[in-house]
A and B are shown apart, each in its own frame.
Chain A
Amino acid sequence: MELLLAIVIGSLYATGLYMLLRRSVVKLIIGLGLLSNGSNLLIFTIGRLVRGRPPIVPEGESSVPSPFADPLPQALILTAIVISFGVLAFALVLIHRAYQKVGTDDLDDLKTTDM
C-alpha cells in the first residue's frame, strides 16, 4: 500500500510540476492543485498507514490499544485541504478576472510587469 501511494504521490508531483511549466494559466492552477494534493497525500502516507484502528479509547480502558492510526496527520491534511481550497478558489477568481481584462490565457502575454 505504501509503495502504491508513493508512486501516486510521485506522479502527482510530477504532473503538477509539468502543468506548472505549461503556458496556459488554467493549467497552472490545475498544476498547483495537483501539487497540493500530492503533499497532502505525502503527509497521509508518512503518518504510517493503519487500517481500521481509530485512535479512540475504548469504553472501560484508559489508553488506546497499540497499533492505532495517528490522528495528527489527518488533522494536518484537513487544515491543508481547507487552506488550499480557499487559495485555489481565489486563484480561479483571479485568473477569470485576468482573462476578462487581458483576453488571453497565455502566460507569455502576461509579462508587461516584468520589464
Chain B
Amino acid sequence: MRLLFPIAIPLTTAVLGLFAWRWRAVQRGLGVAGAAALLITSFELLKSVWQQGPQATWVGNWPPPFGITLIADLLSAIMVALAAVIGFAVALYSLAHVDPAREAFGYYPLLHILLMGVCGAFLTGDLFNLYVWFEVMLMASFVLLALGGERAQLEGAIKYVTLNLMASTLFLTAVGLLYGTVGTLNMADVALKIRPLASSGITTSIAFLLLTAFGIKAAIFPLFFWLPASYHTPPVAVSAVFAGLLTKVGVYALLRVFTLIFIEQERTIPTVVLALSALTMLTGVLGAVVQSEFRRILSFNIVSHIGYMILGLGLFTTAGLAGSIFYIIHHIIVITNLFLVSGLVHAVQGSFDLGRLGGLYRTHPGLAVLFLIPALSLSGVPPLSGFFAKLLLVRAGLHAEQWSIVAIALGVSLLTLLSMMKIWAEVFWKPKESDPLTEGSVASRVPPMAERAAMRSRLGLWSSAGLAVLTAMIGLGADFVLAFAEAAAEQLRHPDLYISTMLQRGHP
C-alpha cells in the first residue's frame, strides 16, 4: 500500500486540479497540499524500506513474472523521497513565481503528473512499464516546457521533444528485442534468464541500445545537446524541477539496468561508461565556463555532474556506487536550488544575462548567501554536501586504481568552482552598470509593479533557503546519509534480494 502513494497522490492531485480548473486559488492550494502529502508518504516509505528491506506490490494481483510489479529497494525509495522534496520545494516556489496565465492553464496538474511519472519510473519493476512512465513524464514535461509559447520555448521544446522521442523509440526497440530474447520483461525475471546469455551478441546489442536510450535521457557525453538548448527557456520553476529530476531518472535507469540485468564478465560496459563519464564531466564544465547566461551555465553544469553520477557505475565497485548515490542525493538538491536562486535574481533585476546583472551583494546580501551555499556545495567545498560526494567518488576511484578519472574529477571540480565564481563575481560582486541602453531593455523585461510585488513574496526565498539548509545538513550529517548510500549500493551490487523480493510473493 505504501508503494502506491507516490503514484496515487500526484494522480489524485492532478485530477482534482483538472476539476478545479477555473479556481486558481484552489489549484494553488492543491498543488502544495498534494506535494506535501507526497513528501510525507515518501519519507514514510523510505523509513519502512530502511527498516524492513525492499518491498513489492503486484499490481492487479497478477502473479510475479506476468503482471507489473512495483518494487522499492533502498535506491528507489531514496529517489522517490528526493523527487518529493524537489516537488514540494518547487510547488512552494511556484506559488510566488509562476505567472497567473500559466497557472490558469493547468500548471499545477501538469507538475503533479510529472511527479507521478518520475515516481513511477523509480518504483516500477517492469521494463515496459518503465517505458510507459518515461512517456508519462515526457508528456508532462513537453507541455510544461512549451506552456507560454514564447519563441525560445518553442525552439527549445522542438529539440527536447525530438531527442527524447528518439530515446524512447530506441528504448522501445531494446525492450522488444529483449522480450524476443528472454520472453519476459519483469526486471528480476530478465536478470535471471539473461545470465546464461550474458556474453552473446544480442545481449550486448540490447545493452548498448539501452545505454544509448538512457544516455540521451540522462544527457551523457555525445548525447547531451538537447539539454543546454532547452533548459533555460521555460519559467524558472519548470527549469528547476527538470534540472533536479528528469536527467536523474535517466541516471537511475542506467544504475538499475546495468547493476541488475547486464552484468558480464568482461566488464565492457563499465569501461565504456567510465570513458563517457570522463568526457561528460569535461565537456559539460568547459561549456559552463564559456557561457554568460545564468541558467545556461547551470545547464552545462548539470551535464558535467551527470558525469560524476555515472562515474561510480563505471568503477563498478560498492564504494563507487555508494559515491554515485550520494552524489545524486547531493546534486538533485543543489542544482534545483541554484535554479531557484537564478529565478530570485531574475525577480529582482529582471534578467538572466550576467552582463546585465550586478551589485546584488550590496543590495540583497541574503540572496548572496543563498547563492553561495549551493554554489560552493556544487564545486565541492567542505563542509557542504558536494565535498563528501566528491570525496567518496575520488576515494572509490583511488581504490579501483583509476588514476586518470580521479585526476579528471578533481580538475573538473576546480573548473566548476571557476564557473560558479564567475556567476558570483558578475551577479553579486561587481557594481551594476547603468548605461541607458541596458537600462531600457532591462526595464522592458521587468514585469509590471503588481506582479513584482507578488514575486517578492517570501515563499520563493523560503523554499530556496530550505534546500540550502538541506545541503548543509547533508554535509554535516554526511555519516548518516552515507549509511543510506552504502546500504543502497550494497543492494545494487548484490541484486539477489531485489530479485527474490520481486519474484517471491508473500501476503499482499
Contact = CB atoms under 8 A, between A and B. Distances in A.
Quick check: do A and B touch in the complex, using CB within 8 A? yes
Contacts of A87: 135, 138-139, 142, 161, 165, 168
Given A46-B180, A90-B142, A39 B172 contact: yes
Interface of A: 20, 25, 28, 32, 35-36, 38-40, 42-43, 46-47, 72-73, 76, 79-80, 83, 86-87, 90-91, 94-95, 97-98, 101-102, 107, 110-114
A17 B166 CA distance: 10
A72 B179 contact: yes
A38 B229 CA distance: 28
Nearest to B178: A46
Contacts of A32: 162, 165-166, 169
B218 interface: no
B247 to A, nearest CB: 18
B232 interface: yes
Contact of B175 (A36, A43, A110): A43
Contacts of B152: 112-113
A69 B508 CA distance: 31
A113 B139 contact: no
Contacts, number: 105
Interface of B: 128, 131-132, 135, 138-139, 142-143, 146, 149-152, 154-159, 161-162, 165-166, 168-169, 172-173, 175-177, 179-180, 185, 225, 228-230, 232-233
B180 A20 contact: no
Contacts of A35: 165-166, 169
Contacts of A80: 131, 172
Given A39-B173, A46-B176, A101-B149, A95 B158 contact: yes
Given A36-B169, A86-B139, A114-B229, A43 B156 contact: no
30 contacts: A20-B162, A28-B158, A36-B165, A36-B169, A39-B172, A39-B173, A39-B176, A42-B176, A42-B177, A43-B172, A43-B175, A46-B179, A47-B180, A72-B179, A72-B185, A73-B176, A86-B139, A87-B139, A87-B168, A90-B139, A90-B142, A94-B154, A95-B158, A101-B149, A111-B155, A112-B151, A113-B156, A113-B233, A114-B228, A114-B229
A113 B161 contact: no
Contacts of B142: 87, 90-91, 94
B143 A113 contact: no
B166 A97 contact: no
B135 A91 contact: no
Given A102-B155, A111-B155, A43 B176 contact: yes
B161 A94 contact: yes
Given A20-B166, A43-B179, 16 more contacts: A28-B162, A32-B162, A35-B165, A36-B168, A36-B172, A73-B179, A80-B131, A83-B135, A90-B161, A94-B146, A94-B157, A94-B158, A101-B151, A110-B155, A110-B158, A112-B151
Contact of A101 (B154, B169, B176, B185): B154
A65 B344 CA distance: 67
A97 B154 CA distance: 8
B146 A97 contact: yes
B154 A76 contact: no
A89 B169 CA distance: 16
Contact of A79 (B132, B143, B166, B168): B132
A102 B154 contact: yes
- Specify which of A35, A86, A94 lies most central, judged by the most chain B CB atoms within 10 Å of its CB: A94
Which 10 A-B residue pairs are closest in the complex by CB-CB distance? A46-B180, A43-B176, A98-B154, A39-B172, A39-B173, A83-B135, A35-B169, A110-B155, A42-B176, A113-B155
A10 B233 CA distance: 37
